[in-house]
Amino acid sequence: MEFLLHLVDQFGYIAMFLFSWIVFLGLPVPNELAAAFSGYLSEWRHFNPYTSFIFMYSGLVSYGIFGFIVGKYFGTKLLYKYFKGKKTRNMVTNGEKWIEKYGLLAISFSYFIPGIRLFMPYIAGTSKGISLLKFLLYALPSAFAWATIYFQIGRLFPRSFQTLIEELSVKAGIIFSVVLLMVFLYSLINKLNKKTNHGMRVRYRKIK
């Protein structure tokens, strides 16, 4: 937190743009905390809230575009070189599976999943059939919703936003797991219904 304050003292609004790049720059500060910190500053350091949000959101979008372009031209090699460890490989693998299964919607819901949010732009860039325009169409609204939620947490709860973010991250993980389970069950029931209907049509034709 002290480092973030130092950045703000040095660069003002530009520091809020850089907050979205902090993890990539090698600092262990969650994106959620950085986004909420921008909201906190707009309330307690007399920064304009609209300007603060625009700079923070612009940083988030620019990071996404950067990740997509790097993924398109270099694949995931840069990720494995820069973010070493089994955890990174697991997140990239999960992201690739989600895109295969859910298509462009995976880009939208990835913004609400810690970790995956960081890697999804690179993964989307490596995927065939996903152009930069398609990526932005699904990424921008979700990024805006995500940024608004955490920015407002920082503004409304300046003294306890760190604790709230930790709790919210856990709950978001649970909610996401439940949603995924519901989507899976819905897909399974749909397939079973189609098979049943197809079987009934075949029998009906034989009878006729």
What are the domain boundaries of the chain?
2-207
The 10s digit of each residue's pLDDT in 159-201 is: 766 666 665 555 555 555 555 566 557 666 877 777 666 555 6
The 10s digit of each residue's pLDDT in 51-71 is: 989 999 999 999 999 989 988
pLDDT of residue 144: 92
How far is Cα 91 from Cα 131, in angstroms, rounded to an integer?
22
Q: What percent of the chain has pLDDT over 90?
A: 12
Encoded tokens for 166: 């930790």
The 10s digit of each residue's pLDDT in 63-107 is: 999 989 988 888 776 666 666 667 767 777 778 888 888 788 888
How far is Cα 166 from Cα 49, in angstroms, rounded to an integer?
23
pLDDT of residue 106: 85
Of residues 204 and 148, more confidently modeled: 148
How far is Cα 122 from Cα 152, in angstroms, rounded to an integer?
28
pLDDT of residue 112: 81
How far is Cα 41 from Cα 31, in angstroms, rounded to an integer?
15
pLDDT of residue 118: 81
For residues 39 and 151, the answer to whether their CB atoms sit within 8 Å is yes
pTM of the entire predicted model: 0.73
